[in-house]
Amino acid sequence: MIQTVIDLLTEARLREFEAIDQYMTHHYEMENKGLDKLATKIKEIAVAKMKHAEKLAERILFLKGEPISKPDATPQKGQEIPEMLATDIVLESKAVKMYIEAAVICASGKDQKSKDLFEELLGDEESHLNFFENIKDHVDKLGAAYIATLTGK
């Protein structure tokens, strides 16, 4: 069971790195377009992801595993705002689904600490998903007028 949990933690860590790469790419691209408010928020989410990756690594080490630090995905570049948000929604949706499943598996194996970690991260992932869905909804409904509100500091 311990190896199963280490595998779950490792997969979660790789997904966090994938999101970090993607969100930092979006951060740079949005900042370059003058969308500083949205860029700043996405950078904050990327930093939260970095903290998630560290917590996962600490748990992996505690369980005598070896944290992997190389993401296996290449970030999407050059997307328009609606596409960026759709990409981010997919990443967060996958994380939510995975963390729910991982928490259940950890509970069934009586690993309360790993279960608690996945549930803690799940709360953050749901918050990130909600943020991206709300912004995408505003962009879809209001278009350029809403995007203009995301400029400046």
Task: Name the residue with tokens 């279960």.
Answer: 115
Stated pTM of the model: 0.91
Structure token digits, residue 110: 């009586």
What average pLDDT is seen over the chain?
94
Provide the pLDDT confidence category of residue 150 given band limits of 50, 70 and 90.
Answer: confident
pLDDT value for 69: 78
Per CATH, which fold does 2-66+79-148 belong to? Ferritin (1.20.1260)
Instruction: List the helix and strand counts (H, then E) for the chain.
Output: 5, 0
pLDDT in tens, 124-149: 999 999 999 999 999 999 998 888 88
**Structural contact between residues 95 and 103, judged by C-beta atoms closer than 8 angstroms:** no
Q: State what percent of residues in the chain have pLDDT above 90.
A: 85
